[in-house]
Amino acid sequence: MQQQKVALLGYGAIGQEIIKSCRLMPLGPQIDTVIVRRAACQETAHALGSGIRVCSELPADINLLIECAGHEAVRTTVLDALRSGVESAIVSSGALHDAQLTQDLEQAAIEGRTRLHILSGAIGGIDALAAAQRLGLDSVVYRGRKPPNAWKGTAAENSIDLTTLHGPVTFFSGSARLAVATFPKNANVAATVSLAGIGFDRTQVQLIADPDMTENTHEFHAKGVFGEMQIRMSIKPLAKNPKTSALTVWSAIRFLQSKSLGLII
């Protein structure tokens, strides 16, 4: 197998946890390079210490890119990486609610003779949902339920007072495309479910703030020719970012590990 030279795009809460977890597995996948904005290079290099290169652009020797930097990074660095033939995997699946960007990414991967992987993140059953889509899906409904503090700083604050809730409140109900556009930092799971299933316009989304919750709960209910399935997962949030589920980090690490294994499940 080709030796992997891995770059991590972004060094926020997810990126920091990926680096930390990889360092605890010396025989596992390792990150060679971290890519951040030019203004953040010095601070990031100081935080990482020796052993990991810090750049503001993708180095020529990288052959695998893991994105955890947000939608704009998918539009720029990931798109350029694919055109250059660099295999890439993204956490920010919500960026693909933009149909034109999705087409551009697919074309870039074809031109570069490589692949773009959408990481499953904080939800399970994506393989089963994608298989069911081949048979035919009639409906998919996704519900995202999080503690109120996970919705702070989002459009949820325009419709409800997150500080005075006494019970669960559904503050958004609509298409996945609208959900991802309105809540870009909270709706990557909805985007992943949409991509595996019946698309952003037909997938229905409900977003809920629940003061009785201490974890982030993701669930989807799908019906179709195959039958019916329901997946529900309650995941602990990242300590540094309550908007993100901790399992997202291990989704990325599992992908990295799979690149060096002869048997994958």
Residue 204, classed as helix, strand or coil, is strand
Helix (H) or strand (E) holding 42: helix 41-48
Q: Which amino acid is at 182?
A: T
Q: What is the distance between the alpha carbons of residues 24 and 36, in angstroms, rounded to a whole number?
A: 23
Helix (H) or strand (E) holding 189: helix 188-196
Do 19 and 48 contact (CB within 8 A), yes or no? yes
| 139: DSSP letter | E
Q: Could you give the dihedral angle defined by the CA atoms of residues 162, 167, 170 and 171, in that order, rounded to the nearest 10 degrees?
A: -20
Q: Is 71 a catalytic residue?
A: no
Catalytic residue among 71, 117, 166, 218: 218
Residues 6 or more apart in contact with residue 38 via CB below 8 angstroms: 56
CB-based burial, 154-171: b 16+ in 10 Å, e otherwise: bebeeeeebeebeeebeb
Q: Which residues are catalytic?
A: 218
